[in-house]
A and B are shown apart, each in its own frame.
Chain A
Amino acid sequence: MKKLIQSLFILMLFVNFCIAQNRTITGTVISAEDNIPIPGATIKLKGAKGGTQTDAAGRFSITIPAGATSIEISSIGFITQSSAIGNSSVLNVVLKSDSRSLSEVIVTSFGIVRDKRTLGYSTTKIGAEQLTVSKATNVSNQLTGKIPGVRVSGSGGAFTGSGIIIRGLTTFTGSNQPLYVVDGVPIDNGGGGTPLQTGPSLSNRAIDLNPEDIENIVVLKDAASTSIYGSRGASGVILITTKKGKKNEKGTISYTTNYSIGRVNRLPEYQNAYAQGNNGLLTAANIGDATVAGSGVSTSWGPLIGGQEITNSFGEKENLQAYPDNVKDIFKQSYNLQNNISFTGGSDKSTFRLAYGNATETYVIDNNKLTRNNLTFTGNTDITDKLTIGASITYTNTSSRRTLQGNQLSNPLFRAYFTPRSYNLSGMPFEDVNGNQLWAGGEDNPYWSIKYNKYNDEVNRVLGNINASYKFTSWLNADLRVGTDFYNLKSKGFDEVGNRGGGFTGASSRLVGGLVDQANNVRNLSSYFTLNANKKFGDFNLTGTLGNEVNQNYVGNSSVTGYTLVVPHFDNMKNALTYNPAIGSSKTRLLGVFADAVLEYKTFLSVNVKARNDWSSTLSPANRSIFYPAAAASFILTEAFPALKDAKYVNLIKFRASIGEVGKGAPAYSTDTYYDTAGAGDGFGAIINFPYNGLAGFTLNDGAGNPDLTPEFTREISFGTELGFFKNRLTVDASYYKRNTRSVILSVPLSAASGITSVFKNAGKLSTKGFELMVAGTPVKAPGFSWDINANFTKYKSVVEQLAPGVANIFLGGFTTPNIRLVEGDEYGQIYGSAYQRNAEGQLLISPATGLPLPTADVVKIGNPNPDYTIGINNTITYKSLSFSFLIDIRKGGDQYSRNIADVQRNGVSIETAEFPRFEADGVTQTRPYIFQGVYASGANAGQPNTVYVRAQDYYGNSGKYVAAEGYIYDTSWFRLREAALNYRLPQGMVKKTPFSILELGVFGRNLYLKAKNYPHFDPEQNALGISNAQGLEFNSLPSTRTFGVNLKIVL
């Protein structure tokens, strides 16, 4: 990897050739690690200026004065070494790699490579090894806990979206997700949202990338670094560099495989003492009839289970007993199998890499499976000394099957978590011979729904680019890259005849069945051209880039929803009696020109100025041009005043500062108002689709466009420091930043009495202040043993400074109660919902008649989902050929409304609902062990303390704690062993006896330990809305898993 960057570096670097006297020494520089030649290493006379560099094959030739006794060999990423010159004219040097090196080169944008130590902004690079510790299928998941300033949400493997927020929220209702750039080409990372009431939860499309193809990831955070990426970089940039062949590398075949299994990591603790029922009784009406939907009750507020005879919902006699595992048995063991093979190699002019990867992952619920195949080829060749061309193409096929998610009756987990304790869910049939459901509940039987309500999708995706770079002179080159990302996604959601929820196609398919066929086409084209200069003038070094970028993004969606299916199980549109098609598309174009100049003075001062101008198709001609500048500076105190540098204790003191701005256009088609297909609907799922009875209907859209929209701007000021101590065994990298977004483009809600309900406007301000810190150290370093720690800390707070005039809040997602909204003056995305009524002193107001609390009529703020801070601690312990690494993930604070917890309590199934015996000794009279602390709301004793003791069912039931959403706000703080891996690499001595050059074996795990002391029963990472600006709601979501696996790597 280092060599790759060095190769690029060479392209950039002019060679200072200084000729003096009379003796020439030649040799080769190789890496101690793998005996591979190191290109671009600097060879110079100790204490002298100038020197030479190794060529692509690691060879060098240097002329030295006769009296010279030693030369110094240095290369980025390796420990600088002095070698004595004997009489020989040949000198071969072996360099040891320097894991603690701070002088890393980083691709900062469009192929611009810079030495990290001169950067005026913060960047973090994650290498392949650190990235793939736990072999997650989705590259987004692999960033969790590894980068300061970055928060990753979503952990359901390939079966939920994984969202990334870099340095806080930058916009209101638009996307806050970073731009993914693969080898210089922006790619689509759409999807990953989870509808609250329909459909499955989906992966974000970064799932199509094979993590095994990734060489490293650089995360750009400051606006000063992302501004060059234009409008789409406003929320940060994830720069992905893929693996390439290396020059002069002998042909290498590398094979890796890994297999892991997963289980649900946390399930509710259940009571197993009390049966299904209500008010202490289990009547025939409570049990219901398995052939009649909704005939039985879902609650477990029944009698003490004691083997008494009942007639079950199948009309059979049965002795009442508890089924402790009736919920657990729904979940199966999941697996994840990945195989990757790659062929790499290179001559002195060309390199190539050809790789194939296959991944198969299942989830803990049957009928959830994802299969991915990646085929990728990358090649580069030097056509002439000056011209290098390359191409890269990746074809991906990803297909998945999923079950339903969300707050609806066909989600197999909607009510499964509170299956009556006395119901033998896995033992009783869920269908009759004709496939009709047998289930007295009103929702779909979980097993029936898993079996029949199906979803599948398939993506075919091509990611490719061609590139050319031309070296005019030693100090000037040009770079051109044209890339494309296009994919086609086809999906089908199927609501089986007899379903009770209409999970995919809505209420209209309830019982009668329905299906939805969808096709999405995404075509992104982009190109950039840069001219890069790098020249030294005395003590000054000037690096400059001029460039342009062109993007075109097209998304086309078409879907057909069919209702009323004739033949059961036949999931084809031909089988539907009525259809509802929908067609939509959007196309945007953007052209940007930019300039980037870096002036470095000696080795300690660097000043960087940038500017970019975009022209966006989404704005009116008058507002189309978007200009934004940036500047960054770095100052290395220890280089400016070498006296401060003490080789033993202090190695580096660097300060950096940056200011930058990023401008953003509007969403497509938001400058006009349109008429579109009419429809009718209410909040309960009833709808009318057009054409209705053979008649078309058109109506003015409720959302109005605005031709006066202007760009949205995000400005960030950031200060940071980088420190190195004790021979760089302790390093610190800290940043403080302040980010302001102004003229936010958002769909401003309006009084419907105007005839429209929203209009696009530039309104509102948003600000984020944050601090991030990375401390890395090597506490122990001994021959054959080392322990490295890298801890990062992230804290930020995004505040809604201003919304549109007259707009008090903006609804981001959720229900009437609870929901997530933006409220002026408050932190981003607060949880609102019904609360308990309280008096001025904050005491609960209690109904004198029932002793139960009362809900507020309106929704109020009940929680803040934003964590106070997050910490990731990476540890790597190496002992000889063994290495052990683990990642601790800590989150402090952040509230979540948990519908799952609410459900297991109000239905009387969770263990705490049986904390006290529910019956007196007679087994009939119900105990009243609970009291709501508060005062009477009304009546003769208004204001007096409540003295009414209530039953467990009153306390936890629908009329008690459950009356207000406030009761189910839980603190998600956690301590988690996110990843761990133990790897053993066969020592060289042993490998030599095999045909292999590397043989590595390992075991790994993910989510191995979780402590969330304020969040009972479930994993607080479960979340209802997936990738969304609305966080903090959990509604019957998929569980999280704990996985263990083994891996093998063979290099031939």
Chain B
Amino acid sequence: MKHLKYMVIASFVMVGILTNSSCKKFYDINKDPDAITTGPIEQQLTSLTVNVGFFAGSDLNRYSSLIMQQYSGQSSGANNQTQDYEKYLIQGSDENNSWSTMYATILNDAENIITSASASGSPHYSGVAKILKAYAYQLSVDVWGDIPFSEAQKLTENTQPKYDSGTEIYTALIRLLDEGIAEVNATASNKSPGTNSTIYPGTFSTTKNNWIKFANTLKLRLFLHYSEADAGFAKAQIDQLVNAAVPFISSNADNFQMVFLDQAASQNPIDQFETARAGYLVANDRLVSIMNGKNDPRRPFYFTQYPAGSGLYRGSVGGAAPSQNYSKLHAYLRGYSGTRYTGDAPIRMLTYAEYNFIRAEAALRFGSPGSAQSFYTTGITASMTDAGVVAANISTYLATSGTLTGTPAQQLEQIITEKYVASYGVAVEPWTDWRRTGYPTINPPANAVVSFVPRSLYYPQSEIDLNPNAKQKTGLDVRIFWDKRP
């Protein structure tokens, strides 16, 4: 009987304890011990800058570089996705990943840093986050057009944000950049980014100038995009900015780019893709032909030789029969030690070369300050230097191909074509230039699923499924607001 008594008492005492609210501890175990509920801004900024750099070398880089025929999709037999993309079979579902990285990681990190840094008196952090946010939105608007902006990042408070027009977002981005510059410039900040920022790492008193230069140059890029939609506005804004003598990116050292590492799972995404998906991307005949035509000294850095050791470069044409007998992406994009790919090449997002080509175009078309020819020469030189071309070869090239000639339209074509070559590996911007100016001429591949070159991408399928405010586009010919070229 004794045993039983203990059993019954023990059991009911247990029931009593567990149901008693005073002994909450039994149930109070539903906090994940392996995660934190608040994130420090320092580590969120690292997440943000790494993701921005990675993103610019990932899906959108492939889509835009394939559309612009800098890369070509290839295979050794079975059809690869890159071949589909090249023939413009880029479906909404292909973009789910980029969209969610953009909004739920990059813009979310930026927003959380802005909120938290503003609350804790760290304008240097919120300033950097605002500048990066502006870059991320610029990229997104140029790819998709109207997108959520004003109601985005409200977490569970608004799970179906409305779509804002690209025009409104662009206007807001200029404001955002101005705020960012002002905050980066603030004299006092509780915390400041340092080496935890993988873009412009270093002491903030030094690197803040990089951020300001980049922000101003990004404004130039944004204004230039108005060239066809509102040339007067573009000219006025560029002139005003240039005349205000604000600092711009002034050397390759100021390039807005992220340097990756020669280490597994830390290499740049272009290199990782080339390793993991060997043979999916090769050099495109369009780009290779332009460069072959001018004996471009950047080719040994841009491409592998085909046939190996021949000194020759051969690009593939979209829709060509499966083959690997082409030049592949090389050191400039992947990093190369002489024996193997290292993956530590930077992902370039806005370069000194591009700055010069922006100024060259503005000078040529709008009579903005400076000489088109001079910026043109500096742009080519900056690109070649960045690629590793020795000075003598740059001079040789400039001597034969470095002078703007012909009608303004021809000169523009030369500027944009050089910009196109220099922007090898820069996501989206060459496509934007083509959409604005039509240069260089791009013809849809023979197997293209539509008869025109896409003017924007479809909205991601996930967004169509989940946000009733999203209306799928009627086709890839739907244009961004600044795309008014006839």
A806 CB contacts on chain B under 8 angstroms: 159-160, 466, 468
Contacts of B79 in A (CB 8 A): 958-959, 962
A297 to B103, CA, bound (A): 40
Cβ of A693 < 8 Å from any Cβ of B?
yes
Bound-state Cα–Cα, A583 to B35, Å: 9
Please name the residue on chain B nearest to A816 by beta carbon: B93
Judge if B105 is at the interface, Cβ distance under 8 Å: yes
| Mask of B24-63 contacts with A, CB within 8 angstroms, 1/0 | 1011111111111111100110110011001100110000
Residues 1 to 40 of chain B near chain A (Cβ within 8 Å): 3-4, 7-8, 11, 14-15, 18-19, 21, 24, 26-40
Give B341-352 as 1s and 0s: 1 = Cβ < 8 Å from A's Cβ atoms.
Answer: 000000000000
Query: Assuming A618-B30, A695-B196, is B103 touching A753 (CB within 8 A)?
Result: yes
Interface size on B, residues (CB 8 A): 100
Which chain A residues border B4 with CB–CB below 8 Å? Answer: 386-387, 470, 472, 478
A296-B76, A589-B26, A692-B198 given as contacts; is B109 within 8 A of A699 (CB)? yes
A512, A706, A806, A962 — which one has the most chain B CB atoms within 10 A of its CB?
A806
Q: Give bound CA distance, A835 to B382, whole Å.
A: 49
Does A901 interact with chain B (Cβ within 8 Å)? no
Residues of B within 8 Å of A619, CB to CB, are 30
Interface presence of B100 (CB below 8 A):
yes
Q: Is the CB of A755 within 8 A of B100?
A: no
B160 touches A685 (CB 8 A): no
The CA of A672 and the CA of B156, in the complex, are separated in Å by 12
A674 interface neighbour in B36, B93, B156, B272, Cβ under 8 Å = B36
Smallest beta-carbon distance B339→chain A, Å: 13
**Of the 9-residue stretches A503-511, A567-575, A868-876, A990-998, which lies at the interface with chain B?**
A503-511
B 301-331 contacts with A by CB, 8 A? 321-325
A584 to B466, CA, bound (A): 30
Contact A684 B29 (CB under 8 A): no
CA distance A755 to B50 in the complex (A): 18
A593 on the interface (CB 8 Å rule)? yes
How close is A800's CB to chain B, nearest CB, in angstroms? 15
Question: Nearest CB to that of A295 among chain B residues?
Answer: B324
Q: In the complex, how many residue pairs between chain A and chain B have their CB atoms under 8 Å apart? A: 303
Q: CA–CA, A616 to B104, complex, Å? A: 31
Q: Mark B451-472, 1 if CB is under 8 A from A, else 0.
A: 0000000000111011110100
A759 touches B159 (CB 8 A): yes
Q: Roughly how many angstroms separate A298 CA and B31 CA in the complex, as a whole number? A: 52
B247 part of interface (Cβ distance < 8 Å) = no
* Contact A698:B47 (CB < 8 A) given known A548-B11, A755-B154, A816-B93: yes
In the complex the two chains form, what is the Cα distance from A816 to B461 in whole Å? Answer: 10
Note all chain A residues with C-beta closer than 8 A to B54. Answer: 680-682, 686, 688
- A624 touches which of B27, B58, B92, B93 (Cβ 8 Å): B27
Q: How far is the CB of A549 from chain B (nearest CB, A)?
A: 10
Q: Which residues of B contact A470 (CB under 8 A)?
A: 3-4, 7
Chain A residues with Cβ below 8 Å from B468 are 806
Interface contact B466-A480, CB-CB below 8 Å = no
Could you say which residues of chain B place their CB within 8 Å of the CB of A807? Answer: 465-466
| Contact across chains for A564 and B94 when beta carbons are under 8 A apart | no
B 65-107 contacts with A by CB, 8 A: 76-79, 89, 91-94, 97-105, 107
Q: Kindly list chain B residues whose C-beta atoms are within 8 Å of the C-beta of A387.
A: 3-4
| Residue A808, interface by CB 8 Å | yes
Closest to B148 in A: A753
Within 8 A of B (CB), among A443-470: 468, 470
Selected interface stretch from A744-752, A786-794, A917-925, A1005-1013: A744-752
Asked whether, in the complex, the Cβ of B105 is within 8 Å of the Cβ of A702, the reply is yes
Complex CA distance for A507 and B153, rounded to whole angstroms: 32
In this assembly, does A763 line the interface, its C-beta being within 8 Å of a C-beta of chain B? no
A809:B465 contact, CB within 8 angstroms: yes
Q: B residues within 8 A CB of A706?
A: 156
User: Which A residues are in CB contact (< 8 Å) with B76?
Assistant: 294-298, 442
Chain A residues with a Cβ closer than 8 Å to the other chain, count: 107
Q: Closest CB-CB distance, B209 to chain A, in whole Å?
A: 22
Cα separation A386 to B92 with both chains bound (whole Å): 71
* A550 CB within 8 Å of chain B: yes
Q: Which residues of B contact A326 (CB under 8 A)?
A: none
Q: Which of B26, B35, B108, B151 contacts A756 (CB 8 A)?
A: B108
Q: When each residue 934-973 of chain A gets 1 if its CB lies under 8 Å from chain B and 0 otherwise, what string results?
A: 0000000000000000000000001100100000000000
> Do B78 and A958 touch across chains, with their CB atoms under 8 A apart?
yes
B264 at the interface (CB under 8 A from A): yes
Distance, CA A907 to CA B29, complexed state (A): 55
Q: Are B153 and A755 in contact (CB under 8 A)?
A: yes
Closest Cβ–Cβ distance, residue A201 to chain B (whole Å):
22
Given contacts A699-B47, A753-B152, whether A675 and B462 have CB atoms under 8 Å apart is no
Is B478 an interface residue when CB atoms closer than 8 A count as contact? no
Which residues of B from 406 to 451 have beta carbons under 8 Å from A? none
Contact of A585 among B34, B109, B264 (CB under 8 A): B34
Tell me whether A113 is interfacial, beta carbon within 8 Å. no
Residues of B within 8 A of A671 (CB): 30
A-B contact pairs, 27 of them (CB 8 A): A294-B278, A387-B4, A478-B8, A507-B275, A507-B276, A577-B264, A578-B265, A583-B34, A586-B32, A587-B29, A617-B26, A668-B32, A673-B37, A678-B43, A681-B54, A683-B59, A686-B54, A692-B261, A693-B261, A698-B47, A699-B109, A700-B109, A702-B100, A704-B155, A751-B103, A752-B100, A907-B77
| Chain B contact residues, CB within 8 Å of chain A | 3-4, 7-8, 11, 14-15, 18-19, 21, 24, 26-40, 43-44, 46-47, 50-51, 54-55, 58-59, 76-79, 89, 91-94, 97-105, 107-109, 111-112, 147-148, 151-156, 158-161, 195-196, 198, 261, 263-266, 269, 272-273, 275-279, 321-325, 461-463, 465-468, 470
Given A296-B76, A754-B153, A756-B156; 8 other pairs, CB 8 A cutoff: A478-B7, A593-B15, A683-B94, A686-B58, A688-B266, A697-B46, A753-B148, A958-B79
